[in-house]
Amino acid sequence: MCFGAFAQDENTYRFTSAEIEAIFLQQNLQLIAERMNISLADAEIVQAKLWKNPTLEISDVNLWSTKSQRDGESFPPLFGSFGRNTQFSVELSQLIQTANKRGKLVARERVSKEIAIQEFEVVLQGLKLELRKSISEISYLQNYLVVLDKQEEAINKLVESYKRQVQKGNIAKAELFRLQSSLLEVENESNETKVDLNEQIKTLKALLSIDPLVNIKIVGKQSRLVEPDALSLPVLLLQTIDHKADVKLSRLQTKLADKSLAYEKSQRAPDVTVSANYDRFGGIWKDFIGFGVSIDLPVFNRNQGGIKAARITQTQSQYLERQQINEAQHEVVEAYNNYLQAYNFHDKVCANDFITELDDMLEAYSKNLLNRNISMLEYIDFVESYQSTKQTVLEAQKNMQIQFEELQYRIGKDLNLAL
């Protein structure tokens, strides 16, 4: 795919989350392959609509004649000199299905197509959740690296200043070593975060089916979240039945079982075969044309086993449908409660005024350390608190986003503010 429409810098492409989803829907190879099952189902419908082929049978042909046969009554040729003294019969037969078997089979295959569509939706919803979680993780890791870079920059400046002071004999080396140790800890955390980021980007690029040599950076904000108070849990439970692909698939399996039972019942009615035949010199007439009808007598086999199996499958699918609905609704309740908890915790974290002052405080602490207004222990303690607090804020944002995506996945549709 050409990425020319998106912001780029050499081999790094910057995408918003909406742009990533657009590429995913267009290029994900698993979705492309799964969508082909719908075309396969269309082909099965076409095949089910076709009539059985007629049967042509040529029999009773004498490929040669004996002298005694030639001395007797001579048969004239069919055309030219071909077919002299040759007897044969030709029969054309056609199977005619009764009890609307073909129509019932077509109806069953149409349900199979609906199942193929819902199986595609199951894959789509699952991959979309994985994609959105990956976007949230990458955004979190990118933002956390910014925090670590700022922290690393601040400590680096202090280290360089302390080195000059140590050379002048104004500061003990132990304080410089303590700063350098703190810097190493931040650099190690940064390296581990980059490893996690590389793993998430690998997952994202695989989902997008793009060149592995391309670098990706996510820009912009993710989609706006719906406040839990704006959601009605009973309404969400009803929407799950209508929109969750797993639930719709289980309902279609029940529908397919109903169609299969109807088809198996139609198999009790015997089919009819009509035929027309031509016989040359096979009887008392030179050219005999006759018609016939054949039908199976349903004495022993009335498809009892097939009907019984279809009834069992029908009952089984009804239980499985109810079980799927039950599980799906319990999952929605769990996802809603998790989202509510994550949303409230995020609000609580962001409600603290000191969160917005952390960056200024880092700069102030660095200046105070240089001016000997605070001790090294106080500075290191603050730096650790700074990193931990920033990480907590970013994790709260990430977890809230992921729990919201989980809730949307469990319902089977994207939520919006109109709810």
> pLDDT band at residue 354, thresholds of 50, 70 and 90?
confident
- 278: pLDDT strictly greater than 50: yes
Residues contacting 57, CB < 8 A, separation 6+: 90, 91, 92, 93
> What is the pLDDT confidence band of residue 287, given thresholds at 50, 70 and 90?
confident
Residue corresponding to tokens 């005694």: 68
Rounded CA separation 320/247 (Å): 10
Q: Cβ(48)–Cβ(109) under 8 Å?
A: yes
Lowest mean pLDDT, pick from 70-74, 187-191, 212-216, 362-366:
70-74
Res. 2 pLDDT band, cuts 50 70 90: very low
Q: Tell me, yes or no, whether 1 lies in a domain.
A: no
How much is the average pLDDT of 377-384?
A: 92
Least confident of 42-46, 163-167, 262-266: 163-167
Instruction: Give the C-alpha separation, 281 to 288, whole Å.
Output: 8
How confident is the model over 304-320, as pLDDT tens digits? 999 999 999 999 999 99
Residue 315 lies in a domain: yes
Q: What is the pLDDT of residues 186-240, one digit of tens each?
A: 999 999 999 999 999 999 999 999 998 888 999 987 777 899 999 999 999 999 9
Does residue 414 carry a pLDDT above 70? Answer: yes
The chain-wide mean pLDDT, for the chain, equals: 90
**Can you tell me the mean pLDDT for 74-86?**
69
Label residue 72 by pLDDT band (50, 70, 90).
low
Question: Can you give the residue range of the structural domain that contains 250?
Answer: 8-64+82-411
Tell me the whole-structure pTM to 2 decimals: 0.86
Total domains in the chain come to: 1
Q: Are strands 8-9 and 88-96 parallel, antiparallel or unpaired?
A: unpaired
Q: Residue 416 falls within a domain, yes or no?
A: no
Average pLDDT value for residue range 253-282? 94
Q: Write down the pLDDT at residue 69.
A: 58
Instruction: Return d(Cα 120, Cα 35) in angstroms, integer.
Output: 6
Helices (H), 209-303: 233-243, 245-266
CA dihedral 389, 395, 400, 406 (to 10 degrees): -160
Share of the chain above pLDDT 70, in %: 93
Among 50, 96, 51, 104, smallest CA distance to 296 is for: 96
Dihedral, CA of residue 305, residue 100, residue 256 and residue 125, to nearest 10: 150
For residue 282, pLDDT over 90 is answered with: no
Q: Tens digit of pLDDT for each residue in 110-122?
A: 999 999 999 999 9
Residue 74 placed within a domain: no
Within a domain: 2? no
Please indicate, yes or no, if residue 233 is contained in any of the structural domains.
Answer: yes
**Reported confidence tier of residue 272, pLDDT bands at 50, 70, 90:** very high
**Tens of pLDDT, residues 20-44:** 999 999 999 999 999 999 999 999 9
> Which whole number is the average pLDDT over 254-266?
96
In tens, the pLDDT along 89-108 reads: 999 999 999 999 999 999 99
CATH number at residue 337: 1.20.1600.10
Answer whether residue 3 is part of any domain. Answer: no
Burial 358-387 (b: 16+ CB within 10 A, else e): beeebeebbeebeeeebebeebbebbeebb
Beta carbons of 411 and 243 less than 8 angstroms apart: yes
Output the pLDDT for position 4. 40
Domain contains 27: yes
CB atoms within 10 A of CB 248: 20
